[in-house]
Amino acid sequence: MSKKVGRPRNKVGRPRLNSENHLYKLRMQSGLSISDVEEMLNITNYYRYENGWRKPKIDTAKKLADLFKCSLEKIYDIKVG
């Protein structure tokens, strides 16, 4: 039997959108917990963004960029230039 080849999967079997986990790195640099981020921005399920299961909508991405003091490109992990 051949093994299926595809996108890397996390523990619950969902594909990751970004294997580098850039939002995790930004949060760690800020010294915040997931609960801190959710409370400060009045959002829930932030871990889904961090795990790559979902991309934040633009309004949430703007809040994250302000919190982490970075650009929207960094939030969405877009290489510019």
Contact 46, 34 (CB under 8 A): yes
For 11-51, what is each residue's pLDDT tens digit?
A: 555 545 454 588 999 999 999 999 999 999 999 999 999 98
In order of their start, the domains of the chain are 22-75 (1.10.260)
Instruction: State the pLDDT at residue 19.
Output: 43
CB atoms within 10 A of CB 46: 24
pTM of the model: 0.73
Q: What is the DSSP string of 22-59?
A: HHHHHHHHHT--HHHHHHHHT-S-HHHHHTTS-PPPHH
Choice between 6 and 34, residue whose per-residue pLDDT is larger? 34
Instruction: State the pLDDT at residue 4.
Output: 55
- For residue 48, the Cα-to-chain-centroid distance in whole angstroms is 7
Contact 47, 23 (CB under 8 A): no
Instruction: State the pLDDT at residue 9.
Output: 53
